[in-house]
Structure formats: structure tokens, C-alpha cells
A and B are shown apart, each in its own frame.
Chain A
């Protein structure tokens, strides 16, 4: 059971997945971080392969806030507001991770067997 966000924060529908960008950003928000820190972390972790553009970043932050999957953790610096996953957000991320893990398992097993 996974969730996806519909535009304008409509109800979540089951059996659909988070977009990759949303998954990465939510993964980075298991700790309080601001926009630029999120972008950096994703880029460093992926060794420069995955880059999130500022407009995509801002759009997704706004959507996640609307869904209440993240919340404003510290807004005292208006240029660098930090965000953190909510309980609901953690749940959504965990569910999505399960599916992603299954697909990774499939690829790994398949590659191992074809290598025999």
C-alpha cells in the first residue's frame, strides 16, 4: 500500500507511488533541513547523478506541506525555513520504501541469477 499525492491535495489513492523527486526530498527530511540543504544532500548522496532544480524543489515542498507530510520546523530565518517529516509523512515514506525495496530485490536477484 503506497500513496501518491493528487494535485491540490485531493485524497490519496492507494497502489500509486511517490514520484522519485518527492521520495528523495522526503528521505532528506527525516531530519530538519532547509531547501538548499535538501538539494545538496540529494546531489552528494547520489554522487551528482540526481539533481533537483529550485522550482521543482519549491513546488514539492509546498505540496508536501499541503498534504501535511512535512511541517515547518523552524521559520525564524525567513530565507532558510527548515522542514521535517510529520508522523503521517513517515508512514507514507515507509510504505513507499517497501515497494522500492521489493523492486530493488527483483533487480538484484535477477542480475545474480543471470550471472550464473
Chain B
């Protein structure tokens, strides 16, 4: 039997806690994280241990690393792996949490959303510009811009969702419940907008095409979202 195993991540912005719970369950079965791998984690088989896991987001300068990791080690948190600004730690159950007050917890998610902001906001803006451009232009330029806009949309939608998830994490800690509920509604609004767009593109006589498109949208889009989310974490490394 192989001593290495790969498991997928749910995307940290979307399911950080679930991921950490999952890693704990694997550790109980003797599979411990060794490193971050594309879209997930690489586990190594060893003795069964009860470890709890935690993630911190922080951009570290080379001369800050030793001190940062030492503060964790001395308080019982073993540094497992890092990828860019994402750092994974594990400890025995009962170890004090890595964040112990609300103000600094908010900053944790601020760190994560700030880093995402830098990469996804220009992309989202560019997509909007491309759509406006194609709407205002005609003939060959119109077609070219439309193709560019569609390609950009495919990349920008997951980026927007990830960013939204990062903000939701932050708002949750800040206790802004209204905003949290709002972010939950956005994907549904998005699907609704998509359906309306498809209907207007293909017209009502092409029902089959609509259903096909809906299937592509229903299966393809979430898949693309998940894939590109993971690529973001990879790129940040």
C-alpha cells in the first residue's frame, strides 16, 4: 500500500473549517498532511494521532519567518506546511487557539481578502470593460470583444465568488449578519441572471439548446469555480 495519498480541498475561502475537520479525521486514521498539493493536500501514512489543524493567512518577509513560526511552536502549534501566504499548523486537542480575540480574528480574514482583492479586482473590472466594449462596438470588433469578454467571465466569476467568500468569512466574525445573508443570495441571483441571459440569446423556440446550456452551466460552472479557486491559491505561492 502506498504511504502517500492525495485529498482535495473544498477551497479554503469556502470551507476552511470543514477542511480542518477533515484533516483531523484523516489524522485519526493515521494519514497526516505533509504538504499542500495542487487543489488539496498530500497526506502521509503514519501512526494514528489526534491532531487539530488551523490555518493562518499572512504575508511574511524572509526575516520574519523564524520569529513567527517560533511563537507558534512554543505555544504548541507545529508548523506543517506553507504555500505563499497560507500557513498550516497542527496541535494536540486542548492547545490554546491561534486566535484568542475577535479583533485579531477579523484581521485574519482581512489578510485573506486583501490578498485576493489584489488579484481579482482588476480581473473583474477588465471583464466588465470587455462586455461594455462589445456592446458598444459592431462587426469584427464586436465578435472579438465578445469572445474576450466570455473568456474573461469564465475566469472572473470564480474569482468574484472566492472574493465574496473571503469577505463573508470576515463579516461573520465581525457579526455583520445582514451582509453574510446577502453573500449567500448572490450565487442564486447569478444563476437567475444566467438563465435570463440564455433565454434571450437562444430564443424560446430552442428549448433543447437551453436545457443543454443549463446543464453546462450547472455542471461546468461549479467545476470551473472550484478549479480556478485552487489555481488562485497555487498562484499566490
Q: Give A contacts to B, CB under 8 Å.
A: 7, 19-21, 35-36, 39, 51-60, 78-81
Please name all residues of chain A whose beta carbon is closer than 8 Å to the beta carbon of B58 when the two chains form the complex.
58
- Whether, in the assembled complex, B16 has its beta carbon less than 8 Å from a beta carbon of chain A, the answer is no
Chain A residues with CB below 8 A from B108, complex form: 55, 59
In the complex, the 7 A-B pairs of residues with the closest C-beta atoms, listed nearest first: A55-B98, A53-B100, A56-B104, A36-B74, A79-B70, A35-B71, A54-B71
- The stretch among B61-69, B127-135, B191-199, B204-212 that forms the contact with chain A is B61-69
Question: Secondary structure at chain A's binding surface: helix, strand, loop or mixed?
Answer: helix
A-B contact count (CB 8 A): 67
Complexed CA–CA distance, A103 and B97 (Å):
29
Q: Given the complex, which residues of B lie within 8 Å of A57, measured CB to CB? A: 71, 75
Question: A60 vs B98: C-alpha distance in the bound complex, in angstroms?
Answer: 13
Chain B interface, number of residues (Cβ within 8 angstroms): 24
- Neighbour of A51 across the interface among B66, B68, B100, CB < 8 A: B100
* Chain B residue at smallest Cβ distance from A21: B101
**Complex Cα gap A7–B107 (Å):** 9
When distances are taken between beta carbons in the complex, the residues of chain B under 8 Å from A59 are 104, 107-108
Min CB–CB distance B11 → chain A (angstroms):
21
Chain B contacts for A58, CB-based, 8 A: 58, 67-68, 71
26 contacts between A and B (CB under 8 A): A19-B101, A21-B101, A21-B104, A35-B71, A36-B71, A39-B71, A39-B74, A51-B96, A53-B75, A53-B97, A54-B72, A54-B74, A54-B75, A54-B98, A55-B56, A55-B108, A56-B99, A56-B100, A56-B105, A58-B58, A58-B67, A59-B108, A78-B63, A79-B66, A80-B67, A80-B70
- With A56-B101, A57-B71, A79-B70 known, 14 other A-B pairs at CB within 8 A are A19-B103, A21-B104, A35-B67, A35-B70, A39-B74, A51-B96, A54-B72, A55-B99, A56-B105, A58-B68, A59-B104, A59-B107, A78-B63, A79-B67
B50 at the interface (CB under 8 A from A): no
State which of A20, A21, A81 has its C-beta within 8 Å of the C-beta of B67: A81
| Bound CA–CA A35/B74 (angstroms) | 9
Q: List B contacts of A78 (CB < 8 A).
A: 63, 66-67
Q: How far is the CB of A74 from chain B (nearest CB, A)?
A: 12
User: From A43, which residue of chain B is reached at the shortest CB distance?
Assistant: B96
Instruction: Among A20, A53, A81, point to the contact of B96 (Cβ < 8 A).
Output: A53
The closest CB in chain B to the CB of A59 belongs to B104
Name the residue among A7, A21, A55, A57 with the largest chain B CB count within 10 angstroms: A55
Is B44 part of the binding interface, using a Cβ–Cβ cutoff of 8 Å?
Answer: no
Q: What is the CA–CA distance of A20 and B103 in the complex, to the nearest angstrom? A: 10
A55 to chain B: which residues have CB within 8 Å? 56, 72, 98-99, 104, 108
Given A53-B99, A53-B100, decide whether A7 and B110 contact each other with a Cβ distance below 8 A.
yes
How distant is the Cα of A96 from the Cα of B68 in the complex, in angstroms?
28
Most chain B CB neighbours (cut-off 10 Å) among A35, A53, A57 = A53
- Chain A nearest CB, measured from B86 CB (Å): 13
Q: Does B77 contact A (CB under 8 A)?
A: yes
Q: Which residue of A lies closest to B63 (CB)?
A: A78
Which A residue sits closest to B102, measured CB to CB? A19
